Structure 1
Amino acid sequence: MKRDELTIFDSEAVREKLSYPDCIAVVRKAMKALSSGETRQLLRTMLSLGPGRTFAQMPGALGEHDMFGTKTISVFADPRSPGLRRHRGLVVLFEPEEGRPVCVADAEEITHIRTAAATAVATDALARADARTLLIVGTGGQAHTHLKALPLVRDFDRVIIWGRSPEKAAALAAEYAHLNAEPATDLRAAAGVADVICTLTTASEPVVRGEWVKPGTHVNLVGSSGPGPVEVDSALVVNSRYIADSRASALDAAAEFLVARDSGLIEDAHIVGEIGEVLLGRIEGRRSDQDITVYKSLGHAVQDLAAAAHLYRSSLA
């Protein structure tokens, strides 16, 4: 590869070269680095282009003398699949010596994989060691990636899949029959038996309620990435040990938390800390088998940049 050559990873190349075990390791390191202050990032900026159309930028640096760059994406409603959104864009990476752009990677595929990898890291840190039943709420692209990542951190013997379309839930369960996946039509009952719940929807109103969730459950809130749409009710937030990927991002854009806080049910201090602080041993994650733990995923720029840097460095090797 020539020194000034720009390396490009299209969606197929990202899927081929960014393995889930590697991405889980990369994201774990990035989360720890963010919480220890080694990395820098700005809050995501979003420009509304009308209903169902958003343009966003997420800049960051992996370290003072490490790679830096940005993720630039459009988040548009999919006209062919009402209720679904597509995250299309690019991750652009610069090297730290001369400031040259060295890598461009498909942002949609990186987002799919690194989001699931981050959920796996959080689940490994916060779920009970004996968690055996997984509930996936949603049937879109993130459902697929989470079904690939989460079994790498827990030995689930039962996987339940719920979606607004029973047909899609059944089809997804059939595709993942090797995980003992089964479709569910009663979400309340499914939530009541789950040890780990992942909400991966575009819902604007709560689909999972706190009264449904048994003590000891770990919940990953992934689908809502900005103020407004909520996937769970305030009761679940209030009753949880609430941990964010980034405290600053959660105070700015964690919809479920903001609704509960603005209703006077909790204060900012309800955010126990960041998942990186748990990984570093600075704060406790799960304190007992009775805790309901919540991990709020909003996504870091440094997660995307770390994944792209791993792809780039692996290509050089």
Structure 2
Amino acid sequence: MRSEARLLLVDKHAVDQVLVQDAVVRAVREAFELHSRREGRVFPVIREQLSTGGIFGVKAGDVQSQKLLGFKAAGFWPNNRRAGGEPHQATIVLFDPETGRPRCVIDGNTITTVRTGAAGALGISALARAESETVTVFGTGVQAASQLNFALRTLPRLKRVRYVAIDRKPDQAFASKFADRCQIESAANADEAVAESDIVITATPGGGPLFDAAAVRPGTHLNCVGADTRGKRELPPGVLERARVVVDDKEQALRLGELQWAPETPCVELGDVLTGTASFDRAAADITVFDMTGLALQDLTVARLVFERASETGSGTSVSWPW
């Protein structure tokens, strides 16, 4: 009955309780495969600068065969740091596609963090050399930590980590999160760290090139996270031209990702690599780049996972929502 309809509210604490990393990786892989088979739609992304200094965006999509419909409203508000808050903010809403009625509202911060980390893990698994042992991470924020966490889970042979903070200073809080899993140290010289790494992860606000192109040696794999808006970049000119480039979505990468700076660069989508639609045989000397702009389908498949588990366990808050 319409008068008895309910809406589930799932806050950050409830999301943290029900999310399991292995399940998130499976859900994100499903999103890539749905995208590859064109069984899931990704609607045009809204991504705009605000007069407040923030960036506001909306990513939406659906999977008609699964009756999955929704959007994530999210962005980046750097001034939140002054108040001790997280600059990344996200909220996800899932709808009943037959009626348009909202089914749940979910705090999207953790979902965004872990689904992006899981996407990075899939990129590393598919594109990096299996024998990789060293990684350099640019950034020490929430997403840098997520990317490194998933990378260490994906390639057990990774044993040496260098991190490059924005201010180039040691960040003990960041390092302590991984001290029992690897040898981790701050790198003051970005070019030297890149030159000695098998894998490079860039997870910064995307304010400009982070290292010299010449530092990237043959065989390196790069996961690039920070370029998600027009005008943002982390890679220097010359890297994409030398690399085999994989993206999550070609249109988004050309508009928002690293590919906006070298739009003629050939690329394939990761979903096509995962489904076998596109063959990708890596030579040992290949430089590979995974340009990550984030798919709405990732948010939806992980949000569905949260919704189902929260409903099963009684997590979240159910409120009356008559229509």
If the length of structure 1 is used for normalisation, what is the TM-score?
0.90
Q: Which of the numbers 259, 272, 279 marks the counterpart of 2:267?
A: 272
Say which SS state the counterpart of residue 304 (structure 2) adopts: helix
In structure 1, distance between residues paired with 2:98 and 2:299? 20
Deviations 1:162-193 (A, max 9, x none): 11234453431233101222221111111111
Alpha-carbon deviation of 1:87? 2.3
In structure 1, distance between residues paired with 2:66 and 2:30? 16
In structure 2, distance between residues paired with 1:234 and 1:244? 18
In structure 1, distance between residues paired with 2:102 and 2:169? 45
Distance 1:273 1:284, change over 3 A: same
Residues 150-299 of structure 1: pairs in structure 2 closer than 5 A: 150-155=151-156, 156-180=158-182, 181-254=184-257, 256-261=258-263, 267=264, 270-299=265-294
Alpha-carbon deviation of 1:99? 3.7
* Conservation of the 8 A alpha-carbon contact between 1:65 and 1:96: no
**Percent of aligned pairs with the same residue?**
31
In structure 2, distance between residues paired with 1:21 and 1:148? 12
In structure 2, distance between residues paired with 1:62 and 1:178? 41
* Conservation of the 8 A alpha-carbon contact between 1:30 and 1:302: yes
In structure 1, distance between residues paired with 2:75 and 2:174? 26
Q: Which runs of 5+ in 1 are unaligned?
A: 262-266
Which stretch shows the higher mean deviation, 191-200 or 89-98? Answer: 89-98
Alpha-carbon deviation of 1:79? 4.8
Which stretch shows the higher mean deviation, 89-98 or 145-154? Answer: 89-98
Residues 40-119 of structure 1: pairs in structure 2 closer than 5 A: 40-50=41-51, 52-80=53-81, 86-119=87-120
In structure 2, distance between residues paired with 1:71 and 1:203? 21
In structure 1, distance between residues paired with 2:80 and 2:8? 32
Say which SS state the counterpart of residue 73 (structure 1) adopts: strand
1:264 — aligned with what? Answer: none
Deviations 1:205-263 (A, max 9, x none): 20023211111111011012012121011211110101110011112212x322234xx
Distance 1:44 1:157, change over 3 A: same
In structure 2, distance between residues paired with 1:166 and 1:47? 29
For 1:202, give the aligned amino acid. Answer: P
Say which SS state the counterpart of residue 312 (structure 1) adopts: helix
1:135 — aligned with what? Answer: 136
* Conservation of the 8 A alpha-carbon contact between 2:144 and 2:204: no
Alpha-carbon deviation of 1:302? 0.8
Residues 11-26 of structure 1: pairs in structure 2 closer than 5 A: 11-26=12-27
If the length of structure 2 is used for normalisation, what is the TM-score?
0.89
Distance 1:85 1:292, change over 3 A: farther
In structure 1, distance between residues paired with 2:56 and 2:228? 13
Larger RCO, structures 1/2 (Cα 8 Å, 6+ apart)? 2
For 1:235, give the aligned amino acid. Answer: G
* Conservation of the 8 A alpha-carbon contact between 1:32 and 1:279: yes
Alpha-carbon deviation of 1:55? 2.1
For 1:288, give the aligned amino acid. Answer: A
Say which SS state the counterpart of residue 89 (structure 1) adopts: strand
Count of aligned pairs:
307
User: Are 2:313 and 1:310 aligned?
Assistant: no
In structure 1, distance between residues paired with 2:266 and 2:111? 27
Distance 1:81 1:191, change over 3 A: farther
For 1:257, give the aligned amino acid. Answer: L
In structure 1, distance between residues paired with 2:273 and 2:82? 38
Q: After TM superposition, which residue ranges in structure 1, 4 or more long, deviate above 6 angstroms?
A: none
Alpha-carbon deviation of 1:116? 0.7
* Conservation of the 8 A alpha-carbon contact between 1:189 and 1:212: yes
Alpha-carbon deviation of 1:271? 3.3
